[in-house]
Structure 1
Amino acid sequence: MDLSVQFRPRSAPHIGAVPPSVFAPQVRLRVLDAPGLGENPRSDETYLRSYREHLPGCDAILWVLAARSRAMALDQHYLTELADFRERMVFGVNQVDAVEPAEWRRASNRPSPRQESNIGEILADRTVRLTDIVGPDPTVIGYSSRHGYRLDQLFQALLTVCPSRRQWMFAGLKNFSHRDFGVDRVRPIDRKDAL
């Protein structure tokens, strides 16, 4: 899918007959949702081949792990196969809102102290296991897509791992919120363009 963001400065300048849109450039991000490895062992080699073909063209790679599952053997195996791309990888640990004791504080959109402690243990565990495969200091971010919790940090981490020669393109996005990418701004692309 393509995500489009229109930059609209807080006080758009109006210079003569120049329309404000000149000062509000549009940025387009292409998001490729890759098929899941491990769903069918017969398809895994095809998927890995497709990953190796498409990942070199990606500025950032988000590898999503589930917070409530300790099973990482398949992820570790696949990451070994895709180790060449580790410098552009960010590891998102999704569904932290479902971590026990599942005491999500809706008013402040935060985990309870006990839940936050358990989330911290999960993130530490994933970091150690990922370090064994991808090397020191992997970027591991716990988040909840359901509640929008820490999506801004996840997005910032993805911008940070972009190659330095291309980071300038994303500089204007660094202060954006996940709320800036509303559903009305998402346009699906043809499947032939995806992995």
Structure 2
Amino acid sequence: MSKQEGINTINKAMAALPTRLSDTILKHIHSLTEYEPVIGIMGKTGSGKSSLCNALFAGEVSPVSDVTACTREPLRFRLKVGERYMTIVDLPGVGENSARDTEYAALYREQLPRLDLVLWLIKADDRALAVDEHFYHQVIGEVYRHKVMFVISQSDKAEPTSVNGQLSMAQKQNVSRKICLLHELFQPVHPVCAVSVRLQWGLQVMAERIIKCLPREATSPVVSQLQHPFRTAAVQEKARDDFGETVGAVLDTVSAFPLIPAPVRAVIQAVRNTVVSVARTVWDFFF
């Protein structure tokens, strides 16, 4: 089934509306299906940002900004799956160069409004977290806390290191302690994730958490970028529901236009739930 068939099906559910109004709504819905998410990823050198992105996302990667660019500009990479795009913004890790941390603070304040989510990687064996804590509370602050998801990376390096190709019970216990520590230090909005790309451990849970943490308009486009094993039924159901709700929000916005006559507003409200239900049903046509 094609995207156009999905649009046509939604249009039929709005047959009772004036054509100009349904066309306006369809334009908004079309822009939702074209939404290009932007995800920031930060962490100190060696935290495994590239390997994590490669493990989670299926898109072909192309640099948008010059890799030799000055550190004032974060590196941007565009991922493409079919006709869909997503941008990864590689943000500099804090605490490695104290002279630059002030500069980074300004950079983050500039970037944060444009990001749908920030994945903040902290290595399982990293104990120097004072700078991260300070930066989080002073720069991220209350305004953007909901955009940050902490990830304990390289969980296979947690003590005592294992050699049998899977995390030992002792390692899992230490990772759990690290999760509790991060919750204490940062008091994050979202649960802390722990992963090991090398052992392919924790990645599915992380993918599901990402979809739960994203704003509604970004979930479906991000699902389409995930590697297939992570496009689970739960992930797709969440994206489907979010798409329905964003379509419902479009109708609510149009209904609130001051020049809409009361009888037309009543029709919009009458068809809203049907349109939302149809949008959920045709989700696969778009994503």
Fold match, TM over 0.5?
Answer: yes
Distance (whole Å) between structure 2 residues aligned to residue 28 and residue 50 of structure 1: 24
What's 1:156 paired with? 208
What's 2:145 paired with? 86
Q: TM-score, length-normalised on structure 1?
A: 0.69
The SS at the match of 1:74 is helix
What's 2:228 paired with? 176
Give the alignment of 1:77-156 within 5 angstroms.
77-80=134-137, 81-83=139-141, 84-103=143-162, 105-106=164-165, 110-131=166-187, 134=188, 137-156=189-208
Once the two structures are TM-superposed, the CA of residue 50 in structure 1 deviates from its matched residue by: 1.0
What's 1:12 paired with? none
Q: Report Cα offsets for 1:109-159 as digits up to 9, x if no partner.
A: x3122221222122122222221xx4xx53201111333322232233222
Q: Report Cα offsets for 1:63-95 as digits up to 9, x if no partner.
A: 111111222211111101212211011100111
What's 2:10 paired with? none
Distance (whole Å) between structure 1 residues aligned to residue 182 and residue 200 of structure 2: 21
What's 2:94 paired with? 37
CA contact (8 A) 2:81 2:224 kept: no
Q: TM-score, length-normalised on structure 2?
A: 0.48
What's 1:55 paired with? 112
Q: Which has the higher contact order (CA 8 A, sep 6+)?
A: 1
CA contact (8 A) 2:154 2:198 kept: yes
Q: Which has the higher helix share?
A: 2
Once the two structures are TM-superposed, the CA of residue 104 in structure 1 deviates from its matched residue by: 5.0
| CA 127–40 in structure 1, closer or farther in 2 if over 3 Å, else same | same
Q: Which runs of 5+ in 1 are unaligned?
A: 7-25, 179-195
The SS at the match of 1:2 is strand
| CA 50–35 in structure 1, closer or farther in 2 if over 3 Å, else same | same
Residues 143-152 or 166-175, more deviating? 166-175
| CA 149–104 in structure 1, closer or farther in 2 if over 3 Å, else same | farther
The SS at the match of 1:129 is helix
CA RMSD in angstroms, aligned pairs only: 2.3
CA contact (8 A) 1:60 1:161 kept: yes
- Identity %, equivalent residues: 25
The SS at the match of 1:32 is strand
Aligned length: 153
The amino acid across from 1:112 in the alignment is S
